[in-house]
Structure 1
Amino acid sequence: MKVLNPKTKANKKGIDEYWLRLFERLDRLCKLQLIVCPDSEYHDNESQVTAFYSELKRMYELLSHGKTFYDKETIKNFQLFEHFTNWLVGKNSVGLELDIDSIVRRGNINSWTGRFIVSVNREINLEAIEALLDLRNQSYSEIEGIFRVWSESKNTDFNHWYKNEVESFGKGTLNMYFRHQQKLYELWNNPEFEDFEALLSSSSVRHVNMMLKVLGKHGVEDDLMKLLKIEEYFKTANFDNLPFLHLSASLFASIARKAAAGRKKPPNRGTMNDIEMISTFLPYCDAMFIDNECASYLNEKPLVDNIGFSTKIFSQARREEFMQFLDGIEQSASQEHIELVTKVYGESWKKPYVTLYKPTK
């Protein structure tokens, strides 16, 4: 954004020309209907806490052209539903059917885009921004505490920490569900109950409610038996083929190993968000450009051998390789395809929109 926006201080000081080349390449490939760059809640949240919300929104909407990922908890629920159902019918070793269209709003992700982008601007909600910053600070405090535990353990076994993360997910999900049930009980039995915010369903509560419904459809009627079955699932299922959990557990296990091996500095404030984003979207993407630290984890053994997906990973450290990858996409397109795009959209359509932030007369 800064390389195109003359209003930014960074633009006036001079920007690495790589980012201009990258924008031109991405914009052209999107217009040639050769790549799709969906936007997501992460784009929205990350841009809200900057001084350039509307400008960043304009950029990611240009490249996504109306293709938006569902929120992370909805995608997790989709995966958990299929994984739990498979386990219930004795097919726990079966991989999930990861259909990209199922997690993207508004139609077929491979459909050609229209000429117009319809966008609605909203007022900046300072309370929402403050809540996002508070959540980020809370997440950072939590990972600082966990990092100290990892450091003190001196246990550098990847599988140990991977298993620990998987078990923590199951225990945490059930604990959150039971806490919510306790709050509901207090509401019904205490006329002076005022903690209504605690009654809002967390993602863990929604996950368990979904599994309770699945069990009901499979003939389990007793409520206690349903909960025992869910507990059994979290204790016995193979979670290597539950993508979001497998990836997040693997990334945290990689950090834990480094902490136990003597790393002094905990991950930065954006790490939790990065891990959430990667573990949610990586299975559905052909390629991702992420920060150097997370890219290094994904390229290290044993994680690199156990990712289970063919997604190509790029970062600042491999940025020219990313450019070559993008160049190869256009080179692989047939002449007939390029000619059809020109026929449908016009010759000027393929020109990158480098004047995106220039004032119109």
Structure 2
Amino acid sequence: MSGFTWERGPFTRCAKCGQTTMGILSAGGQLLTKRCTNCRATVQIPLPELDKKAIYLDQFMFSMIYNVKNEGNLPKGHEAFAKEVYTLLRRCVLLQQVFLPHSNIHHDETTVFHSPIDLRGLYQFFGGDVSLMDSRDVELLQDIRFAKAYFDAAEPAVSLDIDEIADSRRNEWLPDMHVGVRADYSQFADHIRAVRGEVHDAMKHLADTWIERKATFADVLESEFSAIGPTKKQAFAKWFEEVSNPDPNDPLALLESSGRQIYREYRELCHVLEDRGVDENQQPIEIRKFWHWERHREIPHQRISSYLFAAVARRVVMGEKKIVDRGLLNDVRTISTYAPYVNALFIDKRCAALLKEEPLATELDYKARIFSLADTDEFLDYLSEIERQTSDEVREYAAMIYGTD
């Protein structure tokens, strides 16, 4: 064949005209579309069903992948791992066995990266462009499930199926052509840095308090659990003050207040009570009762984050100074939000080590296997096993569509 065609190889024999001119026109979703360059006959072939594993990489890993692709600096002592994991992850993605989801946490951390547009484009393309529900929405989803159980006097049940929080493209075949939008969010970078700085200062103050009180793991864990209700009540009171007395010099104040997490939760709880016929005047009373329900400590994101903060406190009191850094809160949120849903998490060594300590190792329950730079061989073995389990049929189509060998 010669000249330009919209169809591409490999070309096979066309059943209609008999020429070896039947090529791939497009692929993705659930279908492979082929068309003959000679007679224009078109066929659509259903692609095999998939069940992709979700492997959540923290920002450090995506930055490392970016540097492998762009021949940048790789972490000392892990250069070989970086190159091998880059190849193996991409192969598992193209074989339709895994996706590497991105979240709002990635989005914020990418915004303050030195090449945010390129990094965002890389993790969307490289990982299969599947996003997870905003971490705050996941927390709210779990809170409302527990609220319904409380108001119905039923046993709480939260679905931890990945499809509850992943977008609908999880088990679709990747398109053979990728179109990206190079959105620029740099105008938000200074605000994100400022918020991270404020949170870091608050965490350092909390760490000083732990040291001063010589807090134990049990002390901090119980304090975290006991503070859930009062903290929500205090946050709601602050929100109410904001909307009742808005700053006349800040026209966006009311808009920002309407997006507060506590207001979103309160509004959802009102809807839950309204559905159950509870009078509007009684709803605030019932909501305050729910916020002080002892079983809040069983909500997955509450339980995991509380244990992690208690483990951090134990390290701080023992004299570890570097554990409270600017990335700690995002690490805790990543684990507490997504570990119950995804198949694997690759996180920093600090938090991975905390999860292996007691009582976290035996008292926390989540789906994800935990990996870090402390166990790179195990992660490579994990990916290799996934690759080996790919069916012959899927391999055949992946080779045809994406050129995998």
TM surpasses 0.5: yes
1:122 and 2:183 equivalent?
A: yes
1:183 and 2:242 equivalent?
A: yes
Q: Give the Å deviation of 1:266.
A: 4.8
After the TM superposition, which segments of 4 or more aligned residues of structure 1 sit over 6 Å from their partners?
A: none
Amino acid at match of 2:180: S
Distance 1:122 1:335, change over 3 A: closer
**What is the rounded CA distance, in whole Å, between the counterparts of 2:284 and 2:130 in structure 1?**
38
Partner residue, 1:359: none
Given that 1:30 and 1:36 are in contact with CA atoms closer than 8 Å, whether structure 2 keeps it comes out as yes
Amino acid at match of 2:164: S
**What is the rounded CA distance, in whole Å, between the counterparts of 1:15 and 1:256 in structure 2?**
30
Distance 1:166 1:194, change over 3 A: farther
Distance 1:330 1:310, change over 3 A: same
Q: Give the Å deviation of 1:291.
A: 0.2
Amino acid at match of 1:332: Q
Given that 1:173 and 1:208 are in contact with CA atoms closer than 8 Å, whether structure 2 keeps it comes out as no
Given that 2:225 and 2:297 are in contact with CA atoms closer than 8 Å, whether structure 1 keeps it comes out as no
Aligned length: 336
Partner residue, 1:57: 120
Deviations along 1:268-311, one digit per CA (max 9) or x if unpaired, are: 11101111111111111100100000001111110111221131
Partner residue, 2:105: 42
**What is the rounded CA distance, in whole Å, between the counterparts of 1:24 and 1:49 in structure 2?**
26
- Paired residue secondary structure (2:309): helix
Partner residue, 2:224: 165
Partner residue, 1:357: none
Q: Give the Å deviation of 1:54.
A: 2.4
TM-score between the two structures when normalised by the length of structure 2: 0.77
Q: Give the Å deviation of 1:338.
A: 1.9
1:311 and 2:386 equivalent?
A: no
1:85 and 2:148 equivalent?
A: yes
Amino acid at match of 2:184: E
Given that 1:3 and 1:15 are in contact with CA atoms closer than 8 Å, whether structure 2 keeps it comes out as no
- Bigger Rg, structure 1 or 2: 2
Given that 1:100 and 1:109 are in contact with CA atoms closer than 8 Å, whether structure 2 keeps it comes out as no
Q: Give the Å deviation of 1:175.
A: 1.6
Q: What are the residue-to-residue correspondences of 1:211-290 with 2, within 5 Å?
A: 211-223=269-281, 225-290=282-347
- Paired residue secondary structure (1:313): strand
Deviations along 1:159-183, one digit per CA (max 9) or x if unpaired, are: x322322332332222222222223
**What is the rounded CA distance, in whole Å, between the counterparts of 1:132 and 1:310 in structure 2?**
30
- Paired residue secondary structure (2:345): strand
After TM superposition, the structure 1 stretch with the greater mean CA deviation from structure 2, 30-39 or 171-180, is: 171-180
Amino acid at match of 1:144: K
The structure whose residues are more often strand, as a share, is 2
**What is the rounded CA distance, in whole Å, between the counterparts of 1:157 and 1:278 in structure 2?**
19
Identity among equivalent pairs (%) = 25
Deviations along 1:237-269, one digit per CA (max 9) or x if unpaired, are: 413431111111111111122223443445111
Q: Give the Å deviation of 1:228.
A: 2.1
Q: Give the Å deviation of 1:328.
A: 0.8
Given that 1:220 and 1:226 are in contact with CA atoms closer than 8 Å, whether structure 2 keeps it comes out as yes
Partner residue, 2:161: 99
Distance 1:151 1:197, change over 3 A: farther
Deviations along 1:179-213, one digit per CA (max 9) or x if unpaired, are: 222233335xxxx8444444322111111111122
Amino acid at match of 2:186: N
Q: What are the residue-to-residue correspondences of 1:132-211 with 2, within 5 Å?
A: 132-158=192-218, 160-187=219-246, 193-199=248-254, 200-201=257-258, 202-211=260-269
**What is the rounded CA distance, in whole Å, between the counterparts of 1:148 and 1:163 in structure 2?**
18
- Paired residue secondary structure (1:238): helix
Deviations along 1:92-123, one digit per CA (max 9) or x if unpaired, are: 4x331123223123x14122222122221123
Partner residue, 2:4: none
Given that 1:47 and 1:57 are in contact with CA atoms closer than 8 Å, whether structure 2 keeps it comes out as yes
Given that 2:308 and 2:354 are in contact with CA atoms closer than 8 Å, whether structure 1 keeps it comes out as yes
Q: Give the Å deviation of 1:17.
A: 2.2
Partner residue, 2:67: 2
Partner residue, 2:135: 72
User: Larger relative CO (CA 8 A, sep 6+): 1 or 2?
Assistant: 1
| Structure 2 unmatched ranges of 5 or more | 1-65
Given that 1:79 and 1:242 are in contact with CA atoms closer than 8 Å, whether structure 2 keeps it comes out as yes
Partner residue, 2:173: 112
TM-score between the two structures when normalised by the length of structure 1: 0.86
RMSD over equivalenced CA pairs, Å: 2.2
Given that 1:144 and 1:266 are in contact with CA atoms closer than 8 Å, whether structure 2 keeps it comes out as no
- Paired residue secondary structure (1:220): coil
Given that 2:68 and 2:86 are in contact with CA atoms closer than 8 Å, whether structure 1 keeps it comes out as no
Amino acid at match of 1:51: H
**What is the rounded CA distance, in whole Å, between the counterparts of 1:315 and 1:110 in structure 2?**
26
**What is the rounded CA distance, in whole Å, between the counterparts of 1:257 and 1:218 in structure 2?**
43
Partner residue, 1:355: none
